[in-house]
Amino acid sequence: MRKQARKPTNGDYVFAPHERPTMPGSPYAPSHPIRRKVGYVIVAIIMAMAASLSNAIVSVNTQPLAGAMGVTATEVTWLLAVYVAFNASANLLLIKARMRFGIPPVMRALLWPYIVLVFSELLWPSFSLAIVARAAGGFLAAGMSSLVIYNLMQVFPAKFRPLAIVFAVGLPQLATPIARLLPVEQLLVNGQQTIHMIELGLALAASAGANLVRLPPTDKVASFDPLDALTFALFLPAMLLLSVSLVMGRSLWWTDTPWLGWALAVSVILFFLVGFIEYRRTNPLLHLRWIGSRDILRFCIVAMLVRLALSEQTYGTLGLLTVGGLNNDQLHGLFTVILFAMIGGTLASAVLLKAPRIPYMIIAASLIIAFGAWLDSFSSSLTRPPQLYLSQAILAFGSTFFIGPALLFGFGKVLEQGKGFIVSFSVMFGLSQNIGGLAGSALLSTYQVIQARAHSQSMYSHLLAGDPAVAARVQGGIISLAQVVSREANVAAFNDVARLVMVIAILTAVYIGYLIILKRLADRKQALALSSPTAKAAV
């Protein structure tokens, strides 16, 4: 029988050994009554939305936001780049901060500056203040994502705690379809006040929930090293320069804007300096030898490839429908389907999850994504949301079916090495998802532009003046003909994007299958070596 925790006469709760956290900075995990578990679930959902919904609203409404803020469409993408850079860099400090100070102080240090900034935006709206608030939002999202996991871990018994991670990483994914369901006109009433009110309300609700349903205490240890600050000071601007380049490369065009190349070059230099410092440290933030090991590199490659493939849903499909003349408010039915498919993918992942199945689940997710992309590759200028319900539901299901098992696989590798590797893993996983998303959009959008130009030239070269349809268009005006060619060329290019995503997803599945076969062969070889007469004699 397990040793039960007891409550001594002085009122201080004594935790049993099995209730101890896996590492400092994580909360203890005693048994809770059902009512309190429900409270933890509610708080986790609120925190997941506080972490992700505001950025999702910004990312899916960049064009309307540019008009409301009085900036160009390119300038408004600074909000996305700053958010990603700070979000991807945050865990360099936040994990050690929780180890040193505990969860409540770190949570307050994240929430209240963000609340003050958002409230200031309500009173004195400006683009510069919005950028600062996005930076704080990126930090807040990284911290809140961990708190979602911690809250859900209080709900499940020890045997089923991996399910907490599956649900915790699935919940923030729902923010994008939810943001698409919000009416644009209402969001931009009086500038951005409605958006700021949503941000402020979620942040205050997260703060209230965390205080009403408190997490158990944590073990605190001395964790910071003076060189941590230097690593962070180099890593953050490197991430910012890389993010800005990826976000703006397509709109400013890579070869037409020299400063994009300089930004990428400086980011590489800064990353090199980070690597040089961390490689020589005795107690590094980033264990580069471990990160460079075959298993972790393979994991990061697979995670980034799948995240890249998932960009087809956020860029390819929406671009296709935009070419068809549809706006965000006409896509509510499509994103309702996507929302429920994402919930279904999370639930299916939780039901099927077992450690030996994780590689096969990732293969299945890759093939599901490939199938959805293949269905999208037959679109036309007459395609409308109902024709995309099936393909987009498949892609949405595959996205949430993948991310939980992928995170658990990487977390298992961390536990094999020791608790000191959690910062390295968190940063690498965050990079694979954040940079994978930006790189995916940059790659697919660039490929789409190149293919659209190629299709346009091909269409013009095949136009015959004697063709009645061409003659009618010419009679109606050269501009009308150019619009039709541009529309059809773009649609054909979006189909090419879907085929590219299909190929990437299939190659990812094949690569994972190859790794599984290699491991089986290695295990068989080891078993044969141990069973040989020479090995037995040595024993």
pLDDT for 525:
78
CA dihedral over 250, 255, 261, 262, signed as positive or negative? negative
Contact 29, 36 (CB under 8 A): no
Question: Does position 479 have pLDDT exceeding 60, yes or no?
Answer: no
Query: In the predicted model, what is the mean pLDDT of residues 380-398?
Result: 85
pLDDT tens-digit series, residues 7-20: 433 446 677 777 77
> Above 80 in pLDDT, residue 40?
yes
- Asked whether residue 222 carries a pLDDT value surpassing 90, the answer given is no
pLDDT at 333: 85
- Predicted confidence at residue 254, as pLDDT, reads 78
Which of 196, 251, 238 has the alpha carbon at shortest distance from 68? 196
pTM: 0.82
Question: At 11, phi and psi to the nearest 5?
Answer: 90, -5
Instruction: Round to whole Å and give the CA distance between 433 and 408.
Output: 14
- In degrees, rounded to 5, the angle at the alpha carbon of residue 252 between the alpha carbons of residues 248 and 256 is 130
pLDDT at 238: 92
Q: How far apart are CA 420 and CA 28, in angstroms?
A: 18
Q: Is residue 244's pLDDT more than 50?
A: yes
pLDDT of residue 237: 92
Q: When comparing pLDDT for 481 and 172, which is higher? A: 172
Question: Are residues 152 and 172 in contact, defined by beta-carbon separation less than 8 angstroms?
Answer: no
Query: What integer best gives the mean pLDDT of the chain?
Result: 79
Mean pLDDT over 487-515 rounds to 86
Average of per-residue pLDDT across 241-256: 83
Q: Report how far residue 126's alpha carbon sits from residue 205's, in angstroms, rounded to the nearest whole number.
A: 25
253-271: burial string, b at 16+ Cβ within 10 Å, e else: eeeebeebeebbeebeebb
**Rounded Cα–Cα distance for residues 220 and 99 (Å):** 5
Residue 375 pLDDT greater than 80, yes or no: yes
**Per-residue confidence (pLDDT) for residue 527, from 0 to 100:** 74
The pLDDT of 52-59, averaged and rounded, is: 84
Q: Average pLDDT, stretch 41-59? A: 87
Kindly report, residue by residue over 166-216, the tens digit of the pLDDT.
888 788 888 888 888 887 777 776 667 788 888 888 889 988 988 888 888
Model confidence pLDDT, tens digit, residues 270-321: 989 988 888 888 777 777 777 777 777 777 777 777 777 667 666 777 777 7
DSSP H helix total and E strand total for the chain: 23, 0
Taking only the tens place, the pLDDT of each residue in 322-332 is: 776 676 667 78
Q: Is 14 helix (H, G, I), strand (E, B) or coil?
A: strand
At residue 269, the pLDDT reads 92
| Closest-CA residue to 151 (of 50, 279, 74) | 50
Q: Please give the average per-residue pLDDT across 348-374, as a whole number.
A: 84
For residue 418, pLDDT beyond 70? no
Give the pLDDT score at 195: 82
Residue among 224, 243, 333 nearest 285 (CA):
224
